[in-house]
Amino acid sequence: MNKETHLRREEPRKIGVMACSKLMSAPVCLIENDENGQLHVRKEAKDILDGISEPVVVVSVVGLYRTGKSYLMNRLAGQQSGFALGSTIESKTKGIWMWCVPHPNKKGHTLVLLDTEGLGDVEKGDEKHDTWIFCLAVLLSSTLVYNSLGVIDNTALEKLHYVTELTENIRVKAKVGQHEDESADFMRIFPSFVWAVRDFTLELKRGDKLITSDEYLEGALKPKPGCSPQTVQYNLPRSCLRQFFAVRKCFVFPRPASTQNMRIMEQLSEKELESEFLEQANTFCHYVYNNAEPKTVTGGRTITGTALGNLAEVYIEAIRSGNVPCLENAVLSLAKIQNVRAVEEALQCYMTEMLSMTQLPMCPEELSNIHTDAEKKAVEVFITMSFNDNDQIYQQELMGKIHNEYQDMCQQNHEASRMQCEEVLREVFDKMEKSISNGSYMKPGGYQQYRDTLRHLSSDYRARTHSQIMSEEVLSTYLRAKEEAGNMILNADQSLSAAEQENELQRLKNEIMEQRQKGLEEQNRLQEQAFKDMQRTHDEHVNQIIRQMEREQERISRDNEQVLEAKLKEKEALLQQGFQQEADRMQREIDSLKTDMNKQETSQPSTASKVLDGIGTAATLFLPGFVPKLAGIGLSLFSKLF
Ligand SMILES: Nc1nc2c(ncn2[C@@H]2O[C@H](COP(=O)(O)OP(=O)(O)OP(=O)(O)O)[C@@H](O)[C@H]2O)c(=O)[nH]1
Ligand SMILES: [Mg+2]
């Protein structure tokens, strides 16, 4: 018996999710019909998604009404109740409901559960509505759970006719070539597929041999030979499932409790559920937690909760205006919305970090380190949120804005330092100023006295301001202002001969020049720091883009590999079953997929070098004379360039 069977209801279930109430205590409606019968996204749900800046793993459940879908979703949330269940024959869930919970084992990810309205309710009699619910579940999720009761037989597959309509209702590319086969595109971007068979009472055996639930599903998806209309009809949903969903999985659940108890499932403790059901339910949940991928869109880009909300709106808008939702167009619309926001939020993140960490005046190296950290975080925010910023237009905008803010901050740091130095200067030279005013130095030997005091106080001042960036500059300005007074004291000093006075005058001039030089050197050091900062900025932006490109490329390659593997398997199966023509067609698809994969592979280095050019040029705009070096960029994609 499974360990979890012993858990009492009051205890949180140990299937993973513990702190899900942190995000949302209960599900909310995401998509519903408005008063005109048109689908729309509920603001409350959109606002919740807007606040989720983490990548999302989206699991949706679809299937005929009254088949335990909401109950299964509650189990995924690790909760006894949440999505509303009904115990009568009337369908319960309307539209699409959403529950966001922290992902139980993917740190930094949110698990978004989408529970959908039951399909095929004759009372409702709105087939088109059902079709859209099914399409939206496919479009919005990264794992699609199809839930049905009983067995996977022809009737069950006929009820899944929605998959055969996907090609009419969803478009991947805005323009499709005449003979282009879209199934690989669908397969690449469609969610993984899980068939949950409820109230399964049979034994998983073929002949004498025990089979797995996955083998059971694959067996049910085998095509029949022949080309009679009935056979074509029979094969259609099967081939759609095989062609659109590269990853397919099946779980069979026995009845969870007695008929009496099933009406009050939400109130049953784990003990009151059938142990075999519990075991299956836990295996199912663990499979989803471990295998459901973060949601991506075309181009391998992982999306955040915010983007998911925007995506839902873009799709709903297309459906409302009578268009077929198109993934490529959706990504373009999403890019416009997301990129502007990505720049704003990244800049906000930078400013918050800077303001909380800095205390002006401070040493420029320290300020620079804080800036580097803040910029790194800001670029991370940008990279997670932005979309299709292929020419790095928005990233360069961010770079410029951060640069300006940092320049302002450096300026403020100079000013703060100047004020503090001037304050010290006033204190230190106060007595000497008084002596100048009351003419105490206007006497024989007065000049020497003045010079000694000046030297002595200058060194006092330096000791008190040695860590200040404006120390020498402020002293230089002061000494220049004192030149006149020094000359007067020198002139008035009768103890010095004319030649000595001439010498002293020259010395005074030289000293002022030297001090001026020191001030300039100080400013040069600051300039050098600015170049260093720019180099770091450049590296940070380039590194993060390239890393992101690598992640996307990795995901695209993985998706392609998966599609390729599925197609090779499919071809083998077709050959074994004597479908030579179909197997040949599959081989052509495989060949064209391989060509695409090769093309993508070879275009990577040129894309990477474009990034470097773009970001490098942007950097030189902010700092004339800046030459972007490639130090610190040691990433694998980049190294392919050489
Ligand atoms: N026979 C059976 N009933 C179940 C199972 N799981 C839950 N139920 C019960 O079936 C009824 C319907 O469950 P829901 O989860 O609301 O079903 P649903 O598919 O979401 O229903 P709609 O929202 O109306 O489409 C409830 O009384 C549940 O307690 C199961 O595995 N088998
Ligand atoms: Mg329901």
- Asked if residue 91 has its Cβ within 6 Å of ligand 1, the reply is yes
- Asked if residue 65 has its Cβ within 6 Å of ligand 1, the reply is yes
Q: Residue 300 region, left (φ>0) first, then alpha (ψ -120 to 50), else beta? A: left
Q: What is the CA(129)–ligand 2 centre distance, in A? A: 16
| pLDDT > 60? residue 3 | no
Are 495 and 445 contacting, i.e. CB atoms less than 8 angstroms apart? yes
Q: What is the CA(255)–ligand 1 centre distance, in A? A: 11
- Asked if residue 118 has its Cβ within 6 Å of ligand 1, the reply is yes
The number of residues in the chain equals 642
Residues 6 or more apart whose Cβ sits within 8 Å of residue 320? 38, 39, 40
- Which ligand 1 atom is at minimum distance from the Cα of 264? 29
For residues 5-15, average pLDDT: 35
Q: What is the CA(153)–ligand 1 centre distance, in A? A: 20
Per-residue confidence at 621, pLDDT binned at 50, 70, 90?
Answer: low
- Asked if residue 87 has its Cβ within 6 Å of ligand 1, the reply is yes
- Radius of gyration of the CA atoms of the chain, in A: 36
- Asked if residue 69 has its Cβ within 6 Å of ligand 1, the reply is yes
Q: What is the CA(200)–ligand 2 centre distance, in A? A: 19
Measured CA distances, 594 to 557, 561, 599 (Å): 11, 10, 9
Task: Kindly list the strands in the beta sheet with 96-102, ordered across the sheet, starting from the edge strand earlier in the chain.
Answer: 39-41, 28-33, 96-102, 110-116, 56-63, 143-149, 192-198, 248-252
Q: Which residue type sits at 555?
A: R
DSSP 8-state secondary structure symbol assigned to residue 165: G
Q: How far apart are CA 616 and CA 599, in angstroms?
A: 26
Among 54-63, 205-214, 221-230, 528-537, whose mean pLDDT is lowest?
528-537
SS3 478: helix
Q: How far apart are CA 311 and CA 41, in angstroms?
A: 10
Q: Which residue type sits at 26?
A: A
Task: Give the model confidence (pLDDT) of 461-477 as tens digits.
Answer: 999 999 899 999 999 99
Going by alpha carbons, the residue nearest to atom 10 of ligand 1 is 68
| pLDDT > 50? residue 45 | yes
- Asked if residue 496 has its Cβ within 6 Å of ligand 1, the reply is no
Q: What is the CA(250)–ligand 2 centre distance, in A? A: 20
pLDDT confidence of residue 459: 96
pLDDT confidence of residue 371: 94
Q: What are phi and psi of 144, to 5 degrees?
A: -110, 125
pLDDT confidence of residue 637: 43
Residues 6 or more apart whose Cβ sits within 8 Å of residue 177? none
3.30.70.260, 3.40.50.2000, 3.60.20.10, 3.40.50.300: CATH of 21-174+181-325 = 3.40.50.300
For residues 297-326, average pLDDT: 91
Task: Give the model confidence (pLDDT) of 539-588 as tens digits.
Answer: 888 888 888 888 888 888 888 898 899 999 989 988 888 888 889 988 98
Q: What is the CA(264)–ligand 2 centre distance, in A? A: 14
Strand partners, 460: none
DSSP 8-state secondary structure symbol assigned to residue 202: S
pLDDT confidence of residue 242: 92
Question: Residue 502 CA to chain centroid, in angstroms?
Answer: 72
Q: How far is it between the farthest Cα atoms of the chain?
A: 126
pLDDT confidence of residue 180: 63
Q: What are phi and psi of 303, to 5 degrees?
A: -110, 155
| pLDDT > 50? residue 17 | no
- Asked if residue 567 has its Cβ within 6 Å of ligand 1, the reply is no
Going by alpha carbons, the residue nearest to atom 14 of ligand 1 is 68
pLDDT confidence of residue 450: 95
* β-pair type (56-63, 110-116): parallel
Q: Which residue type sits at 465?
A: T
| pLDDT > 70? residue 19 | no
Are 179 and 167 contacting, i.e. CB atoms less than 8 angstroms apart? no
Residues 6 or more apart whose Cβ sits within 8 Å of residue 406? 354, 371, 375, 533
pLDDT confidence of residue 13: 38
| pLDDT > 70? residue 166 | yes
Q: Choose the residue to mutate in 67, 114, 259 for probing ligand 1, maximizing ligand atoms within 8 Å of C-beta.
A: 67
pLDDT confidence of residue 405: 94
| pLDDT > 70? residue 631 | no
pLDDT confidence of residue 15: 35
* β-pair type (205-206, 192-198): unpaired
pLDDT confidence of residue 623: 59
Measured CA distances, 455 to 39, 482, 508 (Å): 82, 13, 12
Per-residue confidence at 620, pLDDT binned at 50, 70, 90?
Answer: low
Q: Choose the residue to mutate in 76, 85, 113 for probing ligand 1, maximizing ligand atoms within 8 Å of C-beta.
A: 85
Per-residue confidence at 388, pLDDT binned at 50, 70, 90?
Answer: confident
SS3 38: coil
Among 178-182, 237-241, 418-422, 503-507, whose mean pLDDT is lowest?
178-182
CB atoms under 10 Å from CB of 87, counted, come to: 12
pLDDT confidence of residue 625: 58
pLDDT confidence of residue 179: 58
Per-residue confidence at 624, pLDDT binned at 50, 70, 90?
Answer: low
pLDDT confidence of residue 263: 83
Question: Percent of the chain, pLDDT > 90?
Answer: 55
Strand partners, 28: 98
Are 132 and 121 contacting, i.e. CB atoms less than 8 angstroms apart? no
Question: Percent of the chain, pLDDT > 70?
Answer: 90
For residues 237-259, average pLDDT: 93
When comparing pLDDT for 341 and 15, which is higher? 341
pLDDT confidence of residue 2: 40
| pLDDT > 70? residue 162 | yes
Q: What is the CA(491)–ligand 1 centre distance, in A? A: 105
| pLDDT > 90? residue 138 | yes
pLDDT confidence of residue 268: 86
274-296: string of b/e by CB count within 10 Å (b at 16+)? beebbbbbbebbeebbeebbbbb
Q: How far apart are CA 47 and CA 511, in angstroms?
A: 66
Going by alpha carbons, the residue nearest to atom 13 of ligand 1 is 68
Nearest Cα neighbor of 560 from 222, 520, 568, 371 is: 568
pLDDT confidence of residue 299: 76
Residue written as token pair 């679809």? 62
Q: How far apart are CA 486 and CA 631, in angstroms?
A: 51
Q: How far apart are CA 588 and CA 583, in angstroms?
A: 9
Residues 6 or more apart whose Cβ sits within 8 Å of residue 397? 343
Among 3-12, 62-71, 344-353, whose mean pLDDT is lowest?
3-12
Dihedral sign of CA atoms 432, 435, 440, 443 in order: positive
Q: What is the CA(262)–ligand 1 centre distance, in A? A: 8
- Asked if residue 71 has its Cβ within 6 Å of ligand 1, the reply is yes
Cis upstream peptide for 361 (omega within 30°): yes
pLDDT confidence of residue 638: 43
